[in-house]
Structures are given as C-alpha cells and as structure tokens.
Amino acid sequence: MAVTRKTESSTLAFLDIISCGLGAVILIFLIIKHNVDIGSEQTDDLEAQLVSLEEEAQRLSSENDRLRRLNADAEKAGQSLEDALVDAEGTLASLRQQNASLEQNNNIIEGELKEIETDIPVDRVEVKGAGTANYIVGMKVEGKRIAIILDHSTSMTHPTLDQAVVAKFDTEAVRRRAPKWQQTVRVAQWLLARLPEGSDFAVVGFADKAAFLSPGPRWSSASSRPDLAQTIRSVTRLAPSGGSNLGAGVDMVLDMQPRPTAVYIVTDGLPTQGADRCANAQSITPGCRQRLMNKVSQKWQAAFPGGTVPINTILLPMTGDPDAVSMFWGWAAPTDGLVLSPSGRWP
C-alpha cells in the first residue's frame, strides 16, 4: 500500500519562518525608528543644556569680573588705609615729639620761675672803665621802668671772632647751645630775677632788626608771672643770627610811652649795622663801628639831656673789639651807669 505524504506541516513551518522573519524586520525597523526619535530628543536636550551652560558661564564670567573689580577696589582701599596709617603714625610721632618738647619747655620755665622767685644774693662781677682801675662791685637792678636791650646776633655764640664766624653755618639748635649764648640767657634771667617789686619792665632783642621779647609794646609788671614766663620763653627760644644793630633796639625803647627810667644792655661789642652808609659795605671797618656807636649814644643823649636815665652795659667777652669797653663806658659814665665785663662763668 502506497504511503501518502503530508505536506501541510512543512508548508506551515515555512510560512512561520517567513512570518517570523518579517516580524523581525518590522521589529528592527521599529527599534531603529524609535532610537532615532530618542537621539533627536536627547540632542535637543543637550543643546538646551549647552545654551544654559553657556549663559551660566557668561554670568559667572561677569560675576568674576565684578569680583575682580571689587578686589581691585578693596586693594586700593587697603593701600589707602595703609598710607593713612603711616601718615597717622608719623603725625603721632610728631605730636609725641612736640609734647616732649613742650614738657621740656614747661620744666625749663618752671625752673626759671623758681629762680625768679628765689631771693639770690647779688653777684659780684668785674667792672672795667677807660682810665679807671678794675674793681669789684655788685650790680643792682633798679628803676621804675626798666628796659633790657638784648643782643642776639651771631657773635653772641662764642667769645672769639673766628668761632663766631664759623657759627653762622651751624644749625639753630647748635647756636642755641653755644657757650656764650647760654651765658646770655643766664644774664637775662639774672636781670629779670632782680627786678624791684612794683617796677615795670620791657625786654627788646636785636640782631639785624629789633623786636620785643616781653609782651610789647607796653610795659609789663615785674609781679606778673605770665609776662615773666612769656619773656623767658622768648629768650630761650632764640637762636643767635645776623648782624648787630644796636640802634634798632634803642629806637624801639625810645618809642615806648612812658619812657624808661633805667636801661640795661647785654651785648659783646660795638654794632655792625645801623644808620650810616658805611654799614652797607661788604666789610665793616673799626672806624665804621665807632661811627655807628656814636650815632646811637648821641641819639640817646638828645632824648635824655643831662643823663637822667642810667645806661648800664653787661659786655660779654669778644676778641678783636678793643674799643668797645671805652666807648660803652663813655656812654654810661655821664648817666651814672656801669659797664660790666664778666667772666664766662658768670652768673
């Protein structure tokens, strides 16, 4: 009996294979299409994120620039503060120095006032006069209105001419410490310490020009501690300089009203400047200095005929001026005044 072949199962299997293959192709197509959509969406997201990041980067860059400017401003402000601090420290140091100087001046003034208040015995000094033997006498400070005329020219720094010439190139501080000037300051204090009670006084300083060292142009009371303190302060602050114009100091005293009843001159020699053409020369000769001195004494004698106002001179040492003693003595003698030539240790 012949065998009958069954073909349905093989055909079915082939169709299944074809269907599976078609399904796989469709699936692959769908998968590929889906991934394309997903990639497009991701690209858009990434582009949006990139734009956002770029905007953020620009914002951060702007913020960074702002912070840099702030930092630069802060550095400038810090430098300004440092400079201000340096200036403040310098100012503080200057103020401290000024305070120390003021304290030192106050101590000096207090010491000087104490000396003024102390009753010190009259010192004895040597007196020289032309044709008169040397003798020792006590100088008295007396009078109702006492004028003190104080020389603070350069020559008042040292007792020798060569040292005084060199002193012109010294600083003010060095000239203040010069030995003869320190003696001059002591002489001024010595005179002020002996002002009679109830008297008035005035102190005039002169070099190239003249000016009041006491509270001028009025007379000051000898019992006024503020006026005495101010006068002492003015003397101690002077630094000797310039030429010697005695006539300017005398003119200032003569202009005071009422006029003085006694005068005390502190100097070291004949004037080098004054109202004479010879004083304008480059070098001052001894004859010119004598003419200048004669003009001063003659003007005084014309103002006080008869020698009614005593002229007293404390002549500090100076080499090279041999005519000074005789000429000052010739001015003082008719007025019953004195010329004193003290040693370097007095007073």
What residues form DSSP beta bridges with 339?
Answer: 313
d(CA 66, CA 72): 10
Cis peptide bond prior to 217, omega within 30° of 0: yes
DSSP assignment, residue 278?
G
The answer, yes or no, to whether residue 21 has pLDDT greater than 80, is no
Tens-place pLDDT, residues 39-93: 566 677 777 877 888 888 788 888 878 888 888 887 777 777 777 777 777 777 7
* Residues shown for the chain: 347
- In the chain, domain spans: 20-118, 124-340
Tens-place pLDDT, residues 123-148: 433 434 333 333 345 678 999 999 99
Could you please state the CATH topology (level 3) that the domain comprising 124-340 is classified under. Answer: Rossmann fold (3.40.50)
Confidence band for 29, pLDDT divided at 50, 70 and 90: low
Token reading at 247: 């006539």
The answer, yes or no, to whether residue 16 has pLDDT greater than 80, is no
Tens-place pLDDT, residues 270-290: 999 998 888 887 788 999 999
Instruction: Give me the amino acid identity at 344.
Output: G
DSSP assignment, residue 46?
H
- Residue 143, phi then psi, degrees to nearest 5: 135, 160
3-state secondary structure of 311: strand
Average pLDDT rounded to a whole number, residues 235-256: 96
Inter-residue long-range contacts of 333-337, CB under 8 Å, 24+ positions, other chains counted:
333/129, 334/301, 334/307, 335/304, 335/307, 335/308, 335/309, 335/310, 335/311, 336/307, 336/310, 337/263, 337/310, 337/311, 337/312, 337/313
Handedness of CA 324, 329, 334, 336 (dihedral sign): positive
Percent of the chain with pLDDT over 70: 78
